[in-house]
Structure 1
Amino acid sequence: MSDPTTHVPAGPTAAAGGPVSYAIFRVARLHREQAGKLLREVGLYPGQEILMMHLWDTGPQRQADLVRLLDSDAATMTRAVQRLERAGFVRRTPSPTDRRSTIIEATPASAPLRTAVEQIWEQLEQATTGGLDAAGCAATIEALGVVERNLIAVCRGDGRACPSEDSSGEASSSGASPAEASSGGESTS
């Protein structure tokens, strides 16, 4: 149920042909803004937490693999990793098997950050889904899954790699676009 005191502005007339797309634009912008506010409290930019989540779950990774996984580019990933390294959350080491590769791993010092990131994502979830019951949350996840699959199909039709697919061709469930995930607060477009 919506709050009648909250006014959602109408989109520009040029967006009249895409009301769902405009709603997604508005929601994504607000979601990223709120995520940024919460993440700044622990010294992260939006997207760096996704990079850390992958490292915490999968262990050390080649930087080139992280670039592909998070649909980033090498320069943006390098900046994000350098910031995290300066903060003491990751360590970069040369690959023992490929001199051209760098291995990125979460440090033990990042363990308290993981707890903070988990709490931030819980807060973000509460802020995002406030007013929705379990059925509303499930319906939202289902609808967003349809939207994601539609966009993946469009990407495939263009012959481009789809940013939210993992290497198996399945849609990712990271909760943020891979481009945002690796940006370290900077646009990758």
Structure 2
Amino acid sequence: MAQFTPEADEATVPVPAAAGGGPLSHAIFRLARLHRMFAGQLLRRIGLHPGQELVMMHLWELGPQRQTDLVRLMDSDAATMTRTVRRLEQAGFVRRRPSPTDKRAALIEPTAASHALRREVERVWSQLEDLVAADLSADERADALLTLERLERNLIQAAADQAAHSGQ
């Protein structure tokens, strides 16, 4: 983990020379790694791993979903979602039931145990937000969110362009 000191405005992890052409990308990588690490620590206390809480958020919000719908919602792949759902099922947070409209599909639904977990997930996400934005003003938080959303749109557009050029 990168160490930060109160006097320093930058991470102590230097940008390698090979990444010199992409300092923003390197910073995003470091931030994402640290964010996932802290999320993992906080979620582990309530019996979840990073990413599982996002699946649960969708289920709480939308109700039972087919696994293929969860793959699409999470922009995941089938194998990863299968493992995630299996682990959530083993932990007692979701269950499968036959779809009433498609006999080939099962619906993944949150259990009562997961509904009891919802407040804890919300608390963890609030803690994580406080850690990330600890010394930012409300305006700085809003600006940071706008910038991150813009960066995300840039990458979504790049992916769409790449798909179009590769004939997909």
TM-score, shorter chain, exceeding 0.5: yes
Q: Which of the two has higher C-alpha Rg?
A: 2
Q: Would you say 1:21 and 2:25 are equivalent positions?
A: yes
Shift of residue 69 of structure 1? 1.3
Q: TM-score, normalised by structure 1?
A: 0.80
Q: Pick which of 106-115 and 120-129 moved more.
A: 106-115
User: Unpaired segments of 5 or more residues in structure 2?
Assistant: none
- Return the alpha-carbon distance in structure 1 between the equivalents of residues 154 and 141 of structure 2: 20
In structure 1, the residue matched to 2:98 is 94
Shift of residue 88, structure 1, vs aligned partner: 1.2
Give the whole-Å Cα distance in 1 for the aligned partners of 2:52 and 2:81.
10
Of the two structures, which has the highest relative contact order with CA contacts closer than 8 Å and spacing of 6 or more?
1
Deviation at 1:3, TM superposition (A): 2.9
Structure-2 residue corresponding to 1:55? 59
Amino acid at match of 1:90: V
Equivalenced residues, count: 159
| Counterpart Cα distance in 2 of 1:139 and 1:24 | 16
Counterpart position of 1:137: 141
Is 2:6 aligned against 1:3? yes
* Structure 1 moving runs of 4+ over 2 Å: none
Give secondary structure in 1 for the equivalent of 2:49. Answer: coil
Structure 1 residue 110, shift from structure 2 partner = 1.1
Which of 154, 160, 163 is equivalent to 2:158? 154
Counterpart residue number, 1:178: none
Q: Distance in 1 between matches of 2:148 and 2:73?
A: 20
**RMSD between superposed Cα atoms in Å:** 1.5
- Normalized per residue, the structure richer in helix is 2
Where does the alignment leave 5 or more consecutive residues of structure 1 unmatched?
161-189
Percent identity, please.
Answer: 56
1:64 matched to 2:64: no
After superposition, the Cα gap between the structure-2 partners of 1:121 and 1:88, relative to the gap in structure 1 and judged at 3 Å, is same
Q: CA–CA distance in 1 between the matches of 2:22 and 2:59?
A: 37
Equivalent residue, structure 1, for 2:50: 46
